[in-house]
Structure 1
Amino acid sequence: MSGGVLNCWVRGVGLLGPGLSDWATGRELLAEPSRWVSAPTVVPAPSRLPPAERRRAGGIVKVGIAVADQACAQAGLDPRDVATVFSASTGDGANCHALCETLATPQRAVSPTRFTNSVHNAPAGYWHIATASRAPSTSLCAHDASFGAGLLEAASQCLCGQQPVLLVASDVPYPQPLQATRPLLDAMGVALLLDTVPGDAPLLRLRIEPGDAAPEGCGHAGLEALRRGIPAARALPLLQRMARGLAQPCVLEVLDGLSLAVTVEPA
Protein backbone atom coordinates (compact mmCIF):
# COMPACT_ATOMS: atom_id res chain seq x y z
CA MET A 1 0.00 0.00 0.00
CA SER A 2 1.38 3.42 -0.96
CA GLY A 3 -0.11 6.84 -1.59
CA GLY A 4 -3.54 5.74 -0.38
CA VAL A 5 -3.71 2.91 -2.93
CA LEU A 6 -4.57 -0.66 -1.91
CA ASN A 7 -3.55 -3.56 -4.16
CA CYS A 8 -4.73 -7.10 -3.43
CA TRP A 9 -5.54 -10.33 -5.22
CA VAL A 10 -9.00 -11.88 -5.42
CA ARG A 11 -8.52 -15.61 -4.97
CA GLY A 12 -12.16 -16.63 -4.54
CA VAL A 13 -15.63 -15.24 -5.26
CA GLY A 14 -19.05 -16.18 -3.89
CA LEU A 15 -22.35 -14.91 -5.30
CA LEU A 16 -26.02 -15.53 -4.52
CA GLY A 17 -28.96 -13.37 -5.52
CA PRO A 18 -32.01 -13.05 -7.78
CA GLY A 19 -31.26 -15.10 -10.89
CA LEU A 20 -27.67 -15.60 -9.68
CA SER A 21 -27.11 -18.98 -8.04
CA ASP A 22 -23.30 -18.83 -7.75
CA TRP A 23 -20.26 -17.13 -9.25
CA ALA A 24 -19.66 -19.81 -11.91
CA THR A 25 -23.02 -19.15 -13.58
CA GLY A 26 -23.30 -15.53 -12.43
CA ARG A 27 -20.02 -14.60 -14.11
CA GLU A 28 -21.40 -15.58 -17.51
CA LEU A 29 -24.68 -13.73 -16.91
CA LEU A 30 -22.99 -10.56 -15.68
CA ALA A 31 -20.63 -10.58 -18.65
CA GLU A 32 -23.65 -10.75 -20.96
CA PRO A 33 -26.59 -9.25 -19.00
CA SER A 34 -29.12 -9.84 -21.78
CA ARG A 35 -29.11 -13.51 -20.70
CA TRP A 36 -29.90 -12.71 -17.07
CA VAL A 37 -33.46 -13.40 -15.92
CA SER A 38 -34.64 -12.22 -12.51
CA ALA A 39 -35.89 -15.00 -10.23
CA PRO A 40 -36.37 -15.23 -6.46
CA THR A 41 -33.17 -16.00 -4.56
CA VAL A 42 -32.95 -19.64 -3.52
CA VAL A 43 -30.92 -19.84 -0.31
CA PRO A 44 -29.40 -23.30 0.34
CA ALA A 45 -29.46 -24.86 3.77
CA PRO A 46 -26.15 -24.27 5.59
CA SER A 47 -24.79 -27.82 5.66
CA ARG A 48 -21.85 -26.67 7.78
CA LEU A 49 -24.14 -26.10 10.76
CA PRO A 50 -25.44 -28.89 13.03
CA PRO A 51 -29.22 -29.47 12.72
CA ALA A 52 -30.12 -27.47 15.84
CA GLU A 53 -28.13 -24.40 14.78
CA ARG A 54 -29.38 -24.80 11.22
CA ARG A 55 -32.97 -24.43 12.42
CA ARG A 56 -32.14 -21.35 14.48
CA ALA A 57 -30.08 -19.60 11.81
CA GLY A 58 -31.79 -16.69 10.12
CA GLY A 59 -31.73 -15.81 6.43
CA ILE A 60 -28.76 -13.45 6.76
CA VAL A 61 -26.69 -16.28 8.28
CA LYS A 62 -27.65 -18.75 5.55
CA VAL A 63 -26.84 -16.31 2.74
CA GLY A 64 -23.50 -15.41 4.30
CA ILE A 65 -22.44 -19.01 4.80
CA ALA A 66 -23.44 -19.92 1.22
CA VAL A 67 -21.26 -17.27 -0.43
CA ALA A 68 -18.41 -17.66 2.07
CA ASP A 69 -18.26 -21.37 1.27
CA GLN A 70 -18.11 -20.64 -2.46
CA ALA A 71 -15.23 -18.18 -2.10
CA CYS A 72 -13.17 -20.41 0.20
CA ALA A 73 -13.69 -23.45 -2.03
CA GLN A 74 -12.57 -21.57 -5.12
CA ALA A 75 -9.49 -20.23 -3.34
CA GLY A 76 -8.62 -23.66 -1.96
CA LEU A 77 -8.07 -22.22 1.53
CA ASP A 78 -9.06 -23.73 4.85
CA PRO A 79 -11.73 -21.42 6.37
CA ARG A 80 -10.27 -21.99 9.84
CA ASP A 81 -7.23 -19.94 8.88
CA VAL A 82 -8.98 -17.00 7.21
CA ALA A 83 -9.81 -13.69 8.91
CA THR A 84 -13.24 -12.30 8.02
CA VAL A 85 -15.10 -9.05 7.49
CA PHE A 86 -18.90 -9.39 7.53
CA SER A 87 -20.78 -6.41 6.15
CA ALA A 88 -24.56 -5.98 6.09
CA SER A 89 -27.04 -3.13 6.13
CA THR A 90 -29.92 -5.21 7.50
CA GLY A 91 -28.85 -7.86 9.99
CA ASP A 92 -31.49 -10.47 10.85
CA GLY A 93 -34.68 -8.50 10.18
CA ALA A 94 -37.01 -11.41 10.91
CA ASN A 95 -35.45 -11.86 14.33
CA CYS A 96 -35.71 -8.12 15.00
CA HIS A 97 -39.40 -8.26 14.06
CA ALA A 98 -39.99 -11.22 16.42
CA LEU A 99 -38.25 -9.36 19.28
CA CYS A 100 -40.40 -6.28 18.71
CA GLU A 101 -43.54 -8.41 18.77
CA THR A 102 -42.45 -10.03 22.02
CA LEU A 103 -41.63 -6.70 23.65
CA ALA A 104 -45.10 -5.45 22.73
CA THR A 105 -46.75 -8.20 24.83
CA PRO A 106 -47.46 -7.90 28.57
CA GLN A 107 -44.95 -10.66 29.43
CA ARG A 108 -42.05 -9.19 27.36
CA ALA A 109 -40.08 -12.42 27.84
CA VAL A 110 -37.36 -12.54 25.19
CA SER A 111 -35.89 -15.97 24.53
CA PRO A 112 -32.10 -16.35 24.85
CA THR A 113 -31.95 -17.66 21.28
CA ARG A 114 -33.71 -14.57 19.95
CA PHE A 115 -31.36 -12.34 21.89
CA THR A 116 -28.28 -14.21 20.63
CA ASN A 117 -29.37 -13.74 17.04
CA SER A 118 -30.17 -10.05 17.49
CA VAL A 119 -26.56 -8.85 17.45
CA HIS A 120 -25.07 -7.60 14.18
CA ASN A 121 -22.15 -10.05 14.31
CA ALA A 122 -24.39 -13.13 14.50
CA PRO A 123 -23.51 -14.25 10.92
CA ALA A 124 -19.80 -14.00 11.74
CA GLY A 125 -20.37 -15.96 14.93
CA TYR A 126 -22.18 -18.77 13.14
CA TRP A 127 -19.48 -18.94 10.45
CA HIS A 128 -16.54 -19.05 12.86
CA ILE A 129 -18.24 -21.64 15.06
CA ALA A 130 -19.14 -23.79 12.04
CA THR A 131 -15.57 -23.66 10.69
CA ALA A 132 -13.88 -23.86 14.13
CA SER A 133 -12.02 -20.68 13.20
CA ARG A 134 -10.20 -18.53 15.74
CA ALA A 135 -9.07 -16.02 13.12
CA PRO A 136 -9.93 -12.33 13.66
CA SER A 137 -13.38 -11.16 12.57
CA THR A 138 -14.96 -7.73 12.03
CA SER A 139 -18.65 -6.96 11.50
CA LEU A 140 -19.77 -3.58 10.19
CA CYS A 141 -22.70 -1.66 8.74
CA ALA A 142 -22.70 1.46 6.55
CA HIS A 143 -26.32 1.53 5.37
CA ASP A 144 -26.50 1.37 1.55
CA ALA A 145 -22.71 1.65 1.25
CA SER A 146 -22.03 -1.44 3.37
CA PHE A 147 -20.35 -3.35 0.52
CA GLY A 148 -17.93 -0.52 -0.28
CA ALA A 149 -17.13 -0.02 3.41
CA GLY A 150 -16.59 -3.76 3.82
CA LEU A 151 -14.27 -3.90 0.79
CA LEU A 152 -12.19 -1.03 2.15
CA GLU A 153 -11.95 -2.69 5.57
CA ALA A 154 -11.11 -6.14 4.19
CA ALA A 155 -8.45 -4.84 1.79
CA SER A 156 -6.87 -2.73 4.55
CA GLN A 157 -6.72 -5.69 6.95
CA CYS A 158 -5.36 -7.95 4.22
CA LEU A 159 -2.46 -5.63 3.45
CA CYS A 160 -1.73 -4.53 7.01
CA GLY A 161 -1.77 -8.08 8.34
CA GLN A 162 -0.24 -9.68 5.22
CA GLN A 163 -2.86 -12.42 5.42
CA PRO A 164 -5.95 -13.62 3.53
CA VAL A 165 -9.20 -11.88 4.48
CA LEU A 166 -12.68 -13.03 3.50
CA LEU A 167 -15.22 -10.28 2.82
CA VAL A 168 -18.87 -11.34 3.12
CA ALA A 169 -21.53 -8.76 2.24
CA SER A 170 -25.16 -9.87 2.55
CA ASP A 171 -28.68 -8.52 3.02
CA VAL A 172 -32.13 -10.04 3.35
CA PRO A 173 -35.58 -8.39 3.24
CA TYR A 174 -37.42 -7.40 6.39
CA PRO A 175 -40.87 -8.75 7.25
CA GLN A 176 -43.76 -6.31 7.36
CA PRO A 177 -44.23 -3.67 8.65
CA LEU A 178 -40.44 -3.04 8.64
CA GLN A 179 -40.24 -3.91 4.94
CA ALA A 180 -42.58 -1.01 4.10
CA THR A 181 -40.18 1.41 5.80
CA ARG A 182 -36.95 -0.14 4.51
CA PRO A 183 -37.90 -2.11 1.36
CA LEU A 184 -35.39 -4.60 -0.06
CA LEU A 185 -36.11 -6.53 -3.24
CA ASP A 186 -34.72 -9.92 -2.18
CA ALA A 187 -31.85 -11.67 -0.41
CA MET A 188 -28.35 -11.31 -1.82
CA GLY A 189 -24.80 -12.14 -0.81
CA VAL A 190 -21.33 -11.48 -2.23
CA ALA A 191 -18.03 -12.85 -0.94
CA LEU A 192 -14.49 -11.94 -2.01
CA LEU A 193 -11.46 -13.76 -0.64
CA LEU A 194 -8.62 -11.22 -0.74
CA ASP A 195 -4.92 -11.97 -0.37
CA THR A 196 -1.54 -10.34 -0.81
CA VAL A 197 -0.34 -13.24 -2.98
CA PRO A 198 -2.01 -14.60 -6.11
CA GLY A 199 -2.08 -18.25 -5.12
CA ASP A 200 -1.86 -21.19 -7.52
CA ALA A 201 -4.80 -20.12 -9.70
CA PRO A 202 -5.13 -16.32 -9.44
CA LEU A 203 -8.39 -14.74 -10.53
CA LEU A 204 -7.48 -11.06 -10.75
CA ARG A 205 -6.06 -8.14 -8.88
CA LEU A 206 -7.87 -5.11 -7.45
CA ARG A 207 -6.44 -1.62 -7.26
CA ILE A 208 -8.47 0.40 -4.75
CA GLU A 209 -8.14 4.20 -4.52
CA PRO A 210 -10.14 6.93 -2.79
CA GLY A 211 -12.39 9.06 -4.95
CA ASP A 212 -15.24 11.54 -4.99
CA ALA A 213 -17.05 10.61 -8.21
CA ALA A 214 -20.65 9.45 -8.19
CA PRO A 215 -21.17 5.66 -7.95
CA GLU A 216 -21.81 4.05 -11.29
CA GLY A 217 -24.69 1.87 -12.38
CA CYS A 218 -24.86 -1.48 -14.13
CA GLY A 219 -25.77 -0.36 -17.65
CA HIS A 220 -28.65 -2.86 -17.68
CA ALA A 221 -32.13 -1.93 -16.46
CA GLY A 222 -32.82 -5.15 -14.57
CA LEU A 223 -29.43 -5.35 -12.86
CA GLU A 224 -29.56 -1.63 -12.08
CA ALA A 225 -32.90 -2.12 -10.32
CA LEU A 226 -31.23 -4.91 -8.35
CA ARG A 227 -28.26 -2.68 -7.50
CA ARG A 228 -30.56 0.04 -6.20
CA GLY A 229 -32.90 -2.37 -4.43
CA ILE A 230 -30.43 -4.38 -2.30
CA PRO A 231 -27.42 -2.81 -0.54
CA ALA A 232 -25.23 -5.91 -1.10
CA ALA A 233 -25.98 -5.58 -4.82
CA ARG A 234 -23.94 -2.36 -4.89
CA ALA A 235 -21.16 -4.84 -5.72
CA LEU A 236 -22.67 -5.60 -9.15
CA PRO A 237 -20.73 -3.00 -11.21
CA LEU A 238 -17.47 -4.40 -9.81
CA LEU A 239 -18.59 -7.98 -10.43
CA GLN A 240 -19.44 -7.03 -14.02
CA ARG A 241 -15.90 -5.70 -14.49
CA MET A 242 -14.52 -8.91 -13.00
CA ALA A 243 -16.73 -11.09 -15.19
CA ARG A 244 -15.60 -9.28 -18.33
CA GLY A 245 -11.97 -8.92 -17.29
CA LEU A 246 -12.08 -5.19 -18.04
CA ALA A 247 -9.18 -3.14 -16.69
CA GLN A 248 -11.30 -0.04 -16.12
CA PRO A 249 -12.00 1.85 -12.88
CA CYS A 250 -15.30 1.09 -11.20
CA VAL A 251 -16.71 3.65 -8.75
CA LEU A 252 -18.36 2.30 -5.59
CA GLU A 253 -20.01 4.33 -2.84
CA VAL A 254 -18.61 4.33 0.68
CA LEU A 255 -20.24 7.27 2.48
CA ASP A 256 -21.90 10.51 1.41
CA GLY A 257 -19.40 12.43 -0.69
CA LEU A 258 -16.86 9.62 -0.65
CA SER A 259 -16.30 6.75 -3.06
CA LEU A 260 -13.82 4.09 -4.07
CA ALA A 261 -12.29 3.78 -7.53
CA VAL A 262 -11.63 0.08 -7.99
CA THR A 263 -9.69 -1.08 -11.03
CA VAL A 264 -9.73 -4.74 -12.06
CA GLU A 265 -6.36 -6.02 -13.31
CA PRO A 266 -6.81 -9.48 -14.92
CA ALA A 267 -4.17 -12.05 -14.01
Structure 2
Amino acid sequence: MSGAIEFSVLGIGLLGPGLVSWDEAQPVLRGDAPYLAVPSVVPAPLRLPAAERRRAGTAVKVALCVADSACIAAGCDPAAMATVFTSSSGDGVNCHILCETLARPPGPDRLVSPTRFTNSVHNAPAGYWHIAVGGRHASTSVCAHDDSFGAGLLAALAQLPGSAAPVLLVSSETPYPEPLNATRPLPDAMGVAFVLGAAGDPTHAGARLKARLLPGAPAGTATRCRDAALEDLRERIPAARALPLLEAIARRQAARVVLPASPQLALEIALEFAP
Protein backbone atom coordinates (compact mmCIF):
# COMPACT_ATOMS: atom_id res chain seq x y z
CA MET A 1 0.00 0.00 0.00
CA SER A 2 1.75 3.15 -1.20
CA GLY A 3 0.48 6.66 -0.59
CA ALA A 4 -2.90 7.29 1.02
CA ILE A 5 -6.08 5.31 0.39
CA GLU A 6 -9.45 7.03 0.63
CA PHE A 7 -12.31 4.77 1.63
CA SER A 8 -15.76 4.71 3.17
CA VAL A 9 -17.48 2.65 5.85
CA LEU A 10 -20.68 1.17 4.46
CA GLY A 11 -21.73 -0.90 7.46
CA ILE A 12 -20.56 -1.82 10.97
CA GLY A 13 -21.15 -4.85 13.19
CA LEU A 14 -20.20 -4.91 16.86
CA LEU A 15 -20.52 -7.35 19.75
CA GLY A 16 -18.63 -7.35 23.02
CA PRO A 17 -18.87 -6.99 26.80
CA GLY A 18 -21.30 -4.14 27.39
CA LEU A 19 -21.55 -3.53 23.63
CA VAL A 20 -24.58 -5.44 22.40
CA SER A 21 -24.60 -4.02 18.87
CA TRP A 22 -23.32 -1.05 16.90
CA ASP A 23 -26.65 0.80 17.19
CA GLU A 24 -26.90 0.28 20.96
CA ALA A 25 -23.22 1.04 21.56
CA GLN A 26 -23.17 4.44 19.83
CA PRO A 27 -24.41 6.48 22.83
CA VAL A 28 -21.66 4.86 24.93
CA LEU A 29 -19.02 5.52 22.27
CA ARG A 30 -20.15 9.16 22.00
CA GLY A 31 -19.93 9.62 25.76
CA ASP A 32 -23.69 10.16 26.13
CA ALA A 33 -24.22 7.01 28.23
CA PRO A 34 -21.97 5.19 30.74
CA TYR A 35 -20.21 1.99 29.77
CA LEU A 36 -21.47 -1.04 31.71
CA ALA A 37 -19.17 -4.06 31.44
CA VAL A 38 -21.74 -6.87 31.28
CA PRO A 39 -20.61 -10.22 29.76
CA SER A 40 -21.00 -10.77 26.03
CA VAL A 41 -24.04 -12.73 24.87
CA VAL A 42 -23.29 -14.46 21.57
CA PRO A 43 -26.36 -15.32 19.46
CA ALA A 44 -26.62 -18.38 17.25
CA PRO A 45 -25.52 -17.70 13.65
CA LEU A 46 -28.87 -18.05 11.84
CA ARG A 47 -27.22 -18.19 8.42
CA LEU A 48 -25.83 -21.63 9.26
CA PRO A 49 -27.95 -24.78 8.96
CA ALA A 50 -28.87 -26.35 12.31
CA ALA A 51 -26.21 -29.08 12.06
CA GLU A 52 -23.47 -26.51 11.35
CA ARG A 53 -24.69 -24.29 14.20
CA ARG A 54 -24.19 -27.19 16.60
CA ARG A 55 -20.65 -27.79 15.34
CA ALA A 56 -19.61 -24.13 15.38
CA GLY A 57 -17.78 -22.87 18.46
CA THR A 58 -18.04 -19.43 20.03
CA ALA A 59 -15.20 -18.08 17.88
CA VAL A 60 -17.17 -18.85 14.70
CA LYS A 61 -20.43 -17.54 16.17
CA VAL A 62 -18.90 -14.19 17.17
CA ALA A 63 -17.32 -13.67 13.75
CA LEU A 64 -20.48 -14.58 11.84
CA CYS A 65 -22.68 -12.43 14.09
CA VAL A 66 -20.77 -9.21 13.47
CA ALA A 67 -20.17 -10.02 9.78
CA ASP A 68 -23.91 -10.48 9.28
CA SER A 69 -24.72 -7.23 11.11
CA ALA A 70 -22.24 -5.23 9.02
CA CYS A 71 -23.59 -6.63 5.74
CA ILE A 72 -27.20 -5.92 6.74
CA ALA A 73 -26.29 -2.35 7.74
CA ALA A 74 -24.46 -1.85 4.44
CA GLY A 75 -27.26 -3.36 2.36
CA CYS A 76 -24.63 -5.39 0.51
CA ASP A 77 -24.81 -8.92 -0.86
CA PRO A 78 -22.41 -10.87 1.40
CA ALA A 79 -21.68 -13.35 -1.38
CA ALA A 80 -20.35 -10.57 -3.62
CA MET A 81 -17.48 -9.44 -1.36
CA ALA A 82 -13.91 -10.48 -0.71
CA THR A 83 -13.25 -10.93 3.01
CA VAL A 84 -10.51 -10.48 5.58
CA PHE A 85 -10.91 -12.34 8.89
CA THR A 86 -8.48 -11.56 11.68
CA SER A 87 -7.96 -12.89 15.20
CA SER A 88 -5.04 -12.95 17.61
CA SER A 89 -5.85 -16.39 18.99
CA GLY A 90 -8.59 -18.19 17.07
CA ASP A 91 -10.82 -20.62 18.96
CA GLY A 92 -9.37 -20.75 22.49
CA VAL A 93 -11.80 -23.37 23.82
CA ASN A 94 -11.15 -25.71 20.91
CA CYS A 95 -7.39 -25.25 21.34
CA HIS A 96 -7.71 -26.14 25.05
CA ILE A 97 -9.71 -29.31 24.33
CA LEU A 98 -7.26 -30.43 21.64
CA CYS A 99 -4.34 -29.95 24.06
CA GLU A 100 -6.17 -31.97 26.73
CA THR A 101 -6.85 -34.76 24.24
CA LEU A 102 -3.28 -34.93 22.98
CA ALA A 103 -1.91 -34.95 26.54
CA ARG A 104 -3.71 -38.22 27.33
CA PRO A 105 -1.96 -41.62 27.09
CA PRO A 106 -2.15 -43.33 23.67
CA GLY A 107 -5.52 -44.98 23.14
CA PRO A 108 -9.12 -44.26 22.12
CA ASP A 109 -9.34 -41.21 24.44
CA ARG A 110 -6.53 -39.57 22.51
CA LEU A 111 -8.36 -39.50 19.17
CA VAL A 112 -9.22 -36.05 17.79
CA SER A 113 -12.68 -35.69 16.30
CA PRO A 114 -12.93 -34.39 12.69
CA THR A 115 -15.07 -31.48 13.89
CA ARG A 116 -12.45 -30.45 16.46
CA PHE A 117 -9.76 -30.59 13.80
CA THR A 118 -11.85 -28.58 11.31
CA ASN A 119 -12.47 -25.86 13.88
CA SER A 120 -8.82 -25.72 14.92
CA VAL A 121 -7.58 -24.02 11.75
CA HIS A 122 -7.27 -20.24 11.82
CA ASN A 123 -9.50 -19.71 8.79
CA ALA A 124 -12.42 -21.73 10.20
CA PRO A 125 -14.66 -18.63 10.68
CA ALA A 126 -13.96 -17.54 7.10
CA GLY A 127 -14.81 -21.03 5.85
CA TYR A 128 -18.11 -21.16 7.75
CA TRP A 129 -19.00 -17.66 6.48
CA HIS A 130 -18.28 -18.30 2.81
CA ILE A 131 -20.16 -21.61 2.92
CA ALA A 132 -23.13 -19.95 4.65
CA VAL A 133 -23.43 -17.07 2.15
CA GLY A 134 -22.27 -18.95 -0.94
CA GLY A 135 -19.29 -16.62 -1.31
CA ARG A 136 -16.71 -17.46 -3.96
CA HIS A 137 -14.56 -14.35 -3.70
CA ALA A 138 -11.09 -14.25 -2.18
CA SER A 139 -10.69 -14.62 1.57
CA THR A 140 -7.68 -13.80 3.73
CA SER A 141 -7.20 -14.88 7.36
CA VAL A 142 -4.73 -12.84 9.41
CA CYS A 143 -3.08 -13.28 12.81
CA ALA A 144 -0.76 -10.62 14.24
CA HIS A 145 -1.08 -11.12 18.01
CA ASP A 146 -2.27 -7.91 19.71
CA ASP A 147 -2.02 -5.96 16.43
CA SER A 148 -4.38 -8.29 14.58
CA PHE A 149 -7.12 -5.69 14.02
CA GLY A 150 -4.74 -3.17 12.48
CA ALA A 151 -3.08 -5.86 10.36
CA GLY A 152 -6.48 -7.03 9.14
CA LEU A 153 -7.57 -3.48 8.32
CA LEU A 154 -4.36 -2.97 6.37
CA ALA A 155 -4.99 -6.20 4.41
CA ALA A 156 -8.56 -5.13 3.62
CA LEU A 157 -7.62 -1.60 2.55
CA ALA A 158 -4.89 -2.93 0.27
CA GLN A 159 -7.58 -4.75 -1.74
CA LEU A 160 -9.91 -1.80 -2.24
CA PRO A 161 -8.13 0.02 -5.10
CA GLY A 162 -8.30 -3.07 -7.32
CA SER A 163 -11.80 -4.17 -6.29
CA ALA A 164 -15.09 -3.21 -7.93
CA ALA A 165 -16.97 -4.43 -4.84
CA PRO A 166 -16.72 -3.64 -1.12
CA VAL A 167 -14.47 -5.68 1.18
CA LEU A 168 -15.67 -7.22 4.44
CA LEU A 169 -13.31 -7.02 7.43
CA VAL A 170 -14.08 -9.17 10.50
CA SER A 171 -12.03 -9.07 13.71
CA SER A 172 -12.96 -11.38 16.58
CA GLU A 173 -11.59 -12.83 19.82
CA THR A 174 -12.66 -15.46 22.34
CA PRO A 175 -10.94 -16.28 25.64
CA TYR A 176 -8.98 -19.39 26.57
CA PRO A 177 -9.98 -21.59 29.52
CA GLU A 178 -7.42 -22.20 32.27
CA PRO A 179 -4.55 -22.94 32.34
CA LEU A 180 -3.96 -21.24 28.97
CA ASN A 181 -5.84 -18.17 30.17
CA ALA A 182 -3.13 -17.54 32.77
CA THR A 183 -0.62 -17.11 29.92
CA ARG A 184 -2.92 -15.39 27.41
CA PRO A 185 -5.71 -13.66 29.37
CA LEU A 186 -8.63 -12.42 27.27
CA PRO A 187 -11.53 -11.37 29.51
CA ASP A 188 -14.45 -11.97 27.13
CA ALA A 189 -15.56 -12.60 23.57
CA MET A 190 -15.65 -9.64 21.19
CA GLY A 191 -16.10 -9.02 17.49
CA VAL A 192 -16.20 -6.05 15.14
CA ALA A 193 -16.85 -5.97 11.40
CA PHE A 194 -16.68 -3.29 8.73
CA VAL A 195 -17.94 -3.31 5.17
CA LEU A 196 -15.37 -1.07 3.48
CA GLY A 197 -16.01 0.64 0.16
CA ALA A 198 -14.11 2.86 -2.22
CA ALA A 199 -14.06 6.61 -1.59
CA GLY A 200 -16.95 7.26 -3.98
CA ASP A 201 -19.36 4.81 -2.34
CA PRO A 202 -22.26 6.26 -0.30
CA THR A 203 -21.06 6.00 3.27
CA HIS A 204 -23.12 4.58 6.12
CA ALA A 205 -20.91 6.41 8.61
CA GLY A 206 -21.29 9.76 6.84
CA ALA A 207 -17.52 10.09 6.86
CA ARG A 208 -14.66 10.48 4.44
CA LEU A 209 -11.75 8.37 5.61
CA LYS A 210 -8.16 8.43 4.45
CA ALA A 211 -5.56 5.87 5.55
CA ARG A 212 -1.79 6.07 5.31
CA LEU A 213 1.06 3.98 6.67
CA LEU A 214 3.29 5.13 9.50
CA PRO A 215 6.45 3.00 9.17
CA GLY A 216 8.55 2.69 12.30
CA ALA A 217 5.74 3.98 14.52
CA PRO A 218 7.00 3.80 18.12
CA ALA A 219 5.22 2.02 20.94
CA GLY A 220 2.62 4.26 22.51
CA THR A 221 1.64 5.85 19.20
CA ALA A 222 -1.77 4.13 19.21
CA THR A 223 -4.81 6.30 19.78
CA ARG A 224 -6.45 5.65 23.13
CA CYS A 225 -10.17 5.64 23.91
CA ARG A 226 -11.61 8.77 25.44
CA ASP A 227 -13.58 6.72 27.97
CA ALA A 228 -11.39 5.11 30.66
CA ALA A 229 -13.52 1.93 30.85
CA LEU A 230 -13.42 1.49 27.08
CA GLU A 231 -9.67 2.10 27.16
CA ASP A 232 -9.31 -0.76 29.63
CA LEU A 233 -11.23 -2.96 27.18
CA ARG A 234 -9.05 -1.77 24.29
CA GLU A 235 -5.91 -2.77 26.15
CA ARG A 236 -7.18 -6.23 27.10
CA ILE A 237 -8.87 -7.55 23.92
CA PRO A 238 -7.10 -7.25 20.54
CA ALA A 239 -10.38 -6.83 18.60
CA ALA A 240 -11.14 -3.86 20.86
CA ARG A 241 -8.23 -2.00 19.24
CA ALA A 242 -11.00 -0.89 16.85
CA LEU A 243 -12.71 1.14 19.60
CA PRO A 244 -10.93 4.50 18.99
CA LEU A 245 -12.03 4.33 15.35
CA LEU A 246 -15.58 3.43 16.40
CA GLU A 247 -15.57 6.30 18.92
CA ALA A 248 -14.54 8.74 16.17
CA ILE A 249 -17.28 7.48 13.82
CA ALA A 250 -19.93 7.60 16.55
CA ARG A 251 -18.95 11.15 17.59
CA ARG A 252 -19.04 12.38 13.96
CA GLN A 253 -16.18 14.78 14.57
CA ALA A 254 -13.04 15.23 12.49
CA ALA A 255 -10.36 13.06 14.03
CA ARG A 256 -7.03 11.32 13.50
CA VAL A 257 -6.81 7.73 14.73
CA VAL A 258 -3.60 5.67 14.81
CA LEU A 259 -3.94 1.88 14.86
CA PRO A 260 -0.90 -0.43 15.22
CA ALA A 261 -0.59 -3.07 12.49
CA SER A 262 2.68 -4.59 13.78
CA PRO A 263 5.41 -3.64 16.29
CA GLN A 264 7.03 -1.51 13.54
CA LEU A 265 4.01 -0.34 11.51
CA ALA A 266 0.82 1.62 12.13
CA LEU A 267 -2.13 2.94 10.16
CA GLU A 268 -3.18 6.56 10.50
CA ILE A 269 -6.87 7.08 9.72
CA ALA A 270 -8.07 10.65 9.10
CA LEU A 271 -11.83 11.15 9.36
CA GLU A 272 -13.84 14.07 8.01
CA PHE A 273 -17.61 14.46 8.25
CA ALA A 274 -20.01 16.40 6.08
CA PRO A 275 -21.73 19.25 7.92
Which residue of 1 is the match for residue 210 of structure 2? 207
> In structure 1, how many angstroms separate the alpha carbons of the residues matched to 2:39 and 2:32?
17
Question: 1:1-267 counterparts in 2 under 5 A?
Answer: 4-32=3-31, 34-105=33-104, 106-107=106-107, 108-196=110-198, 197-199=200-202, 203-211=206-214, 212=217, 214-267=221-274
Please tell me the residue identity of whatever aligns with 1:83: A
> In structure 1, how many angstroms separate the alpha carbons of the residues matched to 2:207 and 2:57?
33
1:100-152 deviation line (CA, Å, top 9, x unaligned)? 11111222211111111110000000001111111111001000000001111
1:178-216 deviation line (CA, Å, top 9, x unaligned)? 111100011110101001132385632321111225112
Query: Normalising to structure 1: TM-score of the pair?
Result: 0.95
> In structure 2, how many angstroms separate the alpha carbons of the residues matched to 1:11 and 1:200?
5
Q: Which runs of 5+ in 1 are unaligned?
A: none
> In structure 1, how many angstroms separate the alpha carbons of the residues matched to 2:272 and 2:66?
23
> In structure 2, how many angstroms separate the alpha carbons of the residues matched to 1:240 and 1:16?
15
| Aligned partner of residue 117 in structure 1, secondary structure | helix
1:163 Cα deviation from its structure 2 partner: 2.3
| Aligned partner of residue 194 in structure 1, secondary structure | strand
How many residues matched?
A: 266
Cα pair 2:8 2:203 within 8 Å, conserved: no
Query: Normalising to structure 2: TM-score of the pair?
Result: 0.93
Q: Which runs of 5+ in 2 are unaligned?
A: none
> In structure 2, how many angstroms separate the alpha carbons of the residues matched to 1:171 and 1:99?
18
Q: CA RMSD in A?
A: 1.5
CA 1:200 to 1:20, structure 2 compared with 1: closer, same or farther past 3 Å? closer
Please tell me the residue identity of whatever aligns with 2:254: A
CA 1:86 to 1:33, structure 2 compared with 1: closer, same or farther past 3 Å? farther
Cα pair 1:33 1:220 within 8 Å, conserved: no
Please tell me the residue identity of whatever aligns with 1:45: A
| Aligned partner of residue 135 in structure 2, secondary structure | coil
